[in-house]
Amino acid sequence: MSLFDEVLGGIGHIPFLGDQLNRIAINHIATRTTSRPRPFSLWSPDPSPPSPAIGSVSEYTSWPGLTDRRFSGRHLPVASPEYLAKLQTPVESLIPLFKRSSPMKEDRSSVLFMFFAQWFTDSVLRVDPTDRRRNTSNHDIDLCQIYGLSEATASILRSHEGGRLRCRDIDGESFLDYLYVQGDPDSPLTPKPEYAGLPYIEILDSIFQNDERRRKAYATGLERGNSTIGYVAISTIFMREHNRICAGLAASNPGWGDERLFQTARMINIVLLMKVVVEDYINHIAGNNIFKLDPNFAEDQSWYRTNWIAIEFDLLYRWHSLVPDAIQVAGQTVVAGDFRNNNELLEHVGIAQVLTSASNQRAGRIGLFNSPSFLLQAETASLTMSRAFKLQSYNDYREQFGLNRLSKFSDLTKDDTAIASIKQCYGSIDDVEFLVGIMAEDRTGGALFGDLLNTMVAYDAFTQIFTNPLLSRNVFGPQTFSEYGMDVIESTRSIRDIAKRNIVGDVTANLGA
Residue 196 belongs to some domain of the structure: no
Residue 313 belongs to some domain of the structure: yes
Residue 206, pLDDT score: 80
Residue 9, pLDDT score: 52
Residue 319, pLDDT score: 97
| Cβ atoms of 433 and 87 closer than 8 Å | yes
Q: Could you tell me the pLDDT band of residue 12, with boundaries at 50, 70 and 90?
A: low
Residue 7 belongs to some domain of the structure: yes
Contacts of 13 (CB under 8 A, 6+ apart): none
Whole-angstrom distance, CA of residue 486 vs CA of residue 253: 14
Residue 7, pLDDT score: 46
Q: Could you tell me the pLDDT band of residue 101, with boundaries at 50, 70 and 90?
A: confident
3-state secondary structure of 261: helix
User: In the predicted model, what is the mean pLDDT of residues 198-205?
Assistant: 90
Residue 298 belongs to some domain of the structure: yes
DSSP conformational letter for 280: I
Res 402 pLDDT > 90: yes
Res 29 pLDDT > 50: yes
Q: Could you tell me the pLDDT band of residue 209, with boundaries at 50, 70 and 90?
A: confident
Share of the chain above pLDDT 90, in %: 85
Residue type, 109: S
Res 10 pLDDT > 70: no
Q: Which of 15-29, 343-357, 385-399, 424-438 has the lowest mean pLDDT?
A: 15-29
Residue 13, pLDDT score: 57
DSSP per residue, 4-73: HHHHHHHHTTSTTHHHHHHHHHHHHHHTSSPPSS-S-BS--SSPPP-TT------SS--HHHHH-TTB-B
Residue 190 belongs to some domain of the structure: no
Residue 17, pLDDT score: 79
Average pLDDT of the chain? 93
Is this model's pTM higher than 0.85 or not? yes
Res 182 pLDDT > 90: no
Residue 471, pLDDT score: 97
Residue 2, pLDDT score: 44
3-state secondary structure of 422: helix
Residue 14, pLDDT score: 63
Residue 507, pLDDT score: 72
Alpha helix positions (H), 195-257: 204-207, 211-214, 229-252
Instruction: Check which CATH number belongs to the domain holding 172 and give it.
Output: 1.10.640.10
DSSP conformational letter for 371: B
User: In the predicted model, what is the mean pLDDT of residues 56-73?
Assistant: 96
Q: Which of 36-40, 179-183, 468-472, 495-499 has the lowest mean pLDDT?
A: 179-183
Other CB atoms within a 10 A radius of the CB of residue 31 amount to: 15
Residue 85 belongs to some domain of the structure: yes
Residue 445, pLDDT score: 84
- The domain in which residue 246 lies consists of 1-177+218-513
Residue 444, pLDDT score: 84
Residue 31, pLDDT score: 95
Reported in sequence order, the residue ranges of 115-260 that DSSP labels E, i.e. its strands, are: 168-170, 173-175, 180-181, 190-191
Residue 36 belongs to some domain of the structure: yes
Q: Measured in whole angstroms, how far is the alpha carbon of residue 438 from the centre of its chain? A: 18
Residue 6, pLDDT score: 46
Residue 72, pLDDT score: 97
Residue 55 belongs to some domain of the structure: yes
Domain count across the chain: 1
Residue 210, pLDDT score: 83
474 φ, ψ (degrees, to nearest 5): -80, -10
Q: Could you tell me the pLDDT band of residue 192, with boundaries at 50, 70 and 90?
A: very high
